[in-house]
Homo-oligomer: A and B are copies of this chain.
Amino acid sequence: MQSLHLTNRRILLNARPQGAPQASDFRLERSPVPAPEPGQVLLRTLLLSLDPYMRGRMGSAASYAPPIELGAVMVGSTISRVAASAHPDFHEGDLVCGASGWQDYALSDGQGLRTLPHGAEHPSHWLGVRGLTGFTAYAGLLNIGRPQRGETLVVGAASGPVGSVVGQLALSMGCTVVGVAGSEDKCQYVRDELKFTQCLNHHHPELPAALAAACPMGIDVYFENVGGATLNAVLPLLNPGARIPLCGLAAQYNADGLTSATAQGPDRLPQLMATLLRRRVHLQGFIAFDDFGAQFPTFFAAMGDWLASGEMQVREDTVVGLENAPEAFIGLLQGRNFGKLLIEVAGD
């Protein structure tokens, strides 16, 4: 393996976060860029996707995926340019979607790489609206949420990459759609651009009353992608037979279980269980690719059509520079991003 005499910047997990991640939990390291051996391809990262699930992978707790080792490169989905290839299926200059993680360059044996068509107009969409977040919205909504015409759906982080797709899909299916978002700017965007029926600021001092007013017919589907206070406001409004797809809990990812400050009483579990029983609610945690992966090709094609027709609006929040990924990620967990958060690692 020879070096190309280039430098690869890699952002490593330096320490497991105690609560919210800090800059010191990450470490930037430089190393030579290796050349591909036979059967390998060298990828130059153009775009890196930052997503809340990464917080879980930084901890040591059992999760749906193994934790990142201390000192290992932070994981993440990427769009890359093939910089050099010793693999028959990939050619220099190809754009590929893969999982190189938080680094400038990565070697791959081709496993899990998908080649983008030449001239693909929005490569970034493969990381979001036509990728993990879009598919999470689609799969959870159709398989668990199962919205019916005339029903009311509530979704949090409504301007974000999951919430925005959930809401737009539910609107197209004839639902009343109420979003919850973290600022007035975001709410305005959700109402004006995404055309949700209503959007409430989750900092609203009277969120339960505001949500009740926005949902006069009760709530049939609550798409849970945030955790936190919204669920408290939703519970009393759930209609019999309501469905709750559960795909994320970003607001509590920084908590460390029952010992943390967020676990102070009152204990809301009995109330939750009583509501689920009395209203006969279906609550289901899911990981889109694990549970519904076979539906991905159908989703990918359909989403392509929705995007082409302008039926699906997308907002991206792009931060330039790999070195800014830790700060951007810390902000993501605080809701500071506005749209799908991407790191532009290289221009082309």
Contact = CB atoms under 8 A, between A and B. Distances in A.
Given A64-B278, A281-B284, A263 B265 contact: yes
Interface string A283-322: 1111100110000000000000000000000000000000
A273 B227 contact: yes
Contacts of A210: none
Nearest to A243: B284
A72 interface: no
A23 interface: no
B263 A264 contact: no
Given A277-B248, A285-B279, A270 B262 contact: yes
Interface string A251-282: 01001011000111111111111111111111
How many chain copies?
2
A268 B267 contact: yes
A63 interface: yes
Interface in A210-254: 224, 227, 231, 240-241, 246-249, 252
A1 interface: no
Interface string A17-35: 0000000000000000000
B291 A285 contact: no
In this complex, the interface size class of chain A, counting residues with CB under 8 Å from chain B, is 35 or more
B262 A264 contact: no
A120 interface: no
Contact of A264 (B56, B252, B267, B277): B267
B285 A284 contact: no
Interface string A132-150: 0000000000000000000
Contacts of A285: 273, 275-282
A123 to B, nearest CB: 29
The 8 A-B pairs with the shortest beta carbon distances in the complex, nearest first, are: A265-B265, A277-B285, A276-B285, A268-B269, A263-B266, A282-B284, A283-B283, A252-B270
Given A249-B274, A264-B266, 16 more contacts: A56-B278, A62-B278, A64-B279, A231-B273, A240-B290, A241-B291, A246-B277, A252-B273, A258-B268, A263-B267, A263-B271, A266-B267, A267-B268, A280-B284, A280-B290, A282-B283
18 contacts: A63-B278, A64-B277, A64-B279, A224-B273, A246-B276, A257-B270, A257-B274, A263-B266, A263-B270, A263-B271, A264-B266, A264-B267, A265-B265, A273-B285, A280-B286, A280-B291, A282-B282, A283-B284
